[in-house]
Amino acid sequence: MTTQPTAAPHAIHPDMLAEALSDVARRAAALAPQLLEKQAADLESQMQDEFGVQKAFGEVMQKMWADPQKLVEVQGKYMADLGALWQKSLAASGGQGPKLEPLKDRRFADEAWSANPWFDFLSRSYLLGAEHMKDVVAKVDGVSPQTRAKAMYYTRQIVDAVSPSNFALTNPQVLKATTDSGGQNLLKGMQNMLRDMEKGKGALAIAMTDTKAFEMGRNVASTPGKVVFQNDLMQLLMYQPTTKTVAKRPLLIIPPWINKYYILDLQPKNSFIRWAVDQGHTVFVISWVMPDAKLAKKTFDDYMQEGPLAAMDAIAKCTGEKEVNAIGYCLGGTLLACTLGYLAAKKDTRIRSATFFTSLIDFAKPGDLGVYVDEAQVDALEKRMQKRGGYMEGSEMAGTFNMLRANDLVWSFYVHNYLLGKDPFPFDLLYWNSDATRMPMAMHLFYLREMYIKNKLVVQGGVSLNGTAIDLSKVKAPAYFISTVEDHIAPWATTYTGARTLGGANKFVLGGSGHIAGIVNPPASNKYGYWTNAKLVPSAEDWLAGATKHDGSWWTDWDKWIKSHNPEKPVPARVPGDALRGGKLKALEDAPGSFAKLRLDK
């Protein structure tokens, strides 16, 4: 008797498969015009080499082939190392040699990689080849530092993209999921990919989190407060006090306009804003507008005038206090430094202390972001912004930041969403990370050209705002600089020079982790730790060598520092819009306000 083959336990019913494939075909056909338009734009960009990739690799290859003997030596070393790895892997799998050390790379952390000798060797040989490729580019003689940095960056992008973890046939987790589900993971993954391409209008806008799990004002950006002032560029939020008395001098937070402010107010357990309120500060924060073509001509001057300067005027009306302590995060810190320089030139001392969260002031070594900023690329960006209507689209900047950590912010989600066919997890930080913002053309071009390319901010009189030349050495307000050791956006050794640029009594602190997690690090988590050193020696490396490591969060260290610069007696707590306490500005709406709630991905 002939036995009929049995279906896989989770095989897709033929009718369901036909329906799903029909849906995929229909959606793909609807996307085709947008996809073709994007491909045409990408091809035009590649032909013009807007990012200078072809030029950089061309120069590297030319120098590499100029010394064929060295190339032969490098290739010989790689083949020898690969052979040694093969011998060790063979011996370990046959029980004839010691087990190989577990890989620390998270892409290969699942035991499925190490359980199978073939996949184990595949992952190890990939990592070996990747290191050799990067090493070859790093050691090519005769290329400029800028060309080397660009070639290194794009080599890393290529190496990350071709990881065996990114392909269904070379990823044991995906193969198992496919076998177990009868291929449902790949079908679901295809539907997920189409969903993300529909959201990106032809571009692949990878979903990083379940955005439906969060609602601003409810479980993110939920610290109680009011909008007490607004203009063309920002809304000013004032938070409800939780203590009976507060520090006399209010606290103004200036976030970057590249992202939304609520990275500092995600959930109660990790909200810096809520924590600062609980420590007895009257907290104000700027919530920047989502600019469009109508605001294309807004300049860096306007961002200073209608941002921190307008905020301080509003704070004085709310509280009766003309002086503030100010915090600037990332680009908000760069704006804070500019504002301090401007006020110093005007003999205006309203900002009595300044705190800088991972902020670049000296742009001499801006890290991987510098790869995207040179005259040719900025000229090309200017043309794209003009074509769009005078602003930089949020998705473009978000994509740039994600590529700085492609394995974590691109490829891990590619595997999870499309190859494994899973839905993204709800994660507050990634909800915020997906909440992209725009930037007006005039302001952004000034920032890129005058600071990133020309590095004029650290030059005495190099930058002028509102017709006033800035000299940061004239800034005498004490400053607290907190940077993070793994920061890929504002490298800590570069931010360190900012503490030596301003002319006041400054303190530099180095936190653990990176640009976001190292800042959003509440004391209750007791994570990462931080380093302090009272001596601001010329070298960042020497500073770290002489620094003392502390456990826990730098937040408590900052609170001690800020309170040491608030000698006045506490005053009764101020309630937003409370005219009985001297406030002269009415509450306009509840925090987080309408500016922050506008999302581009809806």
Residues classed as catalytic: 330
Report how far apart, in Å, the C-alpha atoms of 556 and of each of 10, 279, 484, 544 are: 53, 10, 16, 20
Instruction: Tell me how far apart the alpha carbons of residues 584 and 317 are, in angstroms, rounded to a whole number.
Output: 5
184-199 helix and 14-48 helix, angle to the nearest 10 degrees:
50
The full length of the chain comes to 602
> Bridge-partner residues for 324, per DSSP?
351
Whether the CB-CB separation of 573 and 241 falls below 8 Å is answered with: yes
172-181 helix and 184-199 helix, angle to the nearest 10 degrees:
110
Q: Which of 326, 364, 368 is nearest to 497 (CA)?
A: 364
Phi-psi region of 353 (alpha: psi -120 to 50; beta: other; left: phi over 0): beta
Instruction: Tell me how far apart the alpha carbons of residues 377 and 448 are, in angstroms, rounded to a whole number.
Output: 10
Q: How many CB atoms lie within 10 A of CB 338?
A: 24
Whether the CB-CB separation of 203 and 197 falls below 8 Å is answered with: yes
> Bridge-partner residues for 532, per DSSP?
509, 548
CB proximity list for 569: less than 8 A, separation 6 or greater:
248
Burial of 467 (0-12, 13-18, 19+ CB in 10 A): exposed
Burial of 18 (0-12, 13-18, 19+ CB in 10 A): exposed
Question: Interior CA angle at 427 toward 426 and 431, to 5°?
Answer: 100
Phi-psi region of 582 (alpha: psi -120 to 50; beta: other; left: phi over 0): left
Question: Interior CA angle at 49 toward 46 and 50, to 5°?
Answer: 105
Instruction: Note if the bond before 592 is cis, omega within 30 degrees.
Output: yes
Whether the CB-CB separation of 387 and 393 falls below 8 Å is answered with: no
Whether the CB-CB separation of 191 and 23 falls below 8 Å is answered with: yes
255-258 contact pairs (CB < 8 A, 24+)? 255/285, 255/286, 255/287, 255/288, 255/329, 255/330, 255/332, 256/329, 256/330, 256/331, 256/332, 257/288, 257/303, 257/331, 257/332, 257/437, 257/439, 258/330, 258/331, 258/397, 258/437, 258/439
Beta strands in 147-210 (DSSP E): none
Instruction: Tell me how far apart the alpha carbons of residues 499 and 477 are, in angstroms, rounded to a whole number.
Output: 12
Give the H/E segment covering residue 246.
strand 245-246
Instruction: Tell me how far apart the alpha carbons of residues 89 and 95 are, in angstroms, rounded to a whole number.
Output: 10
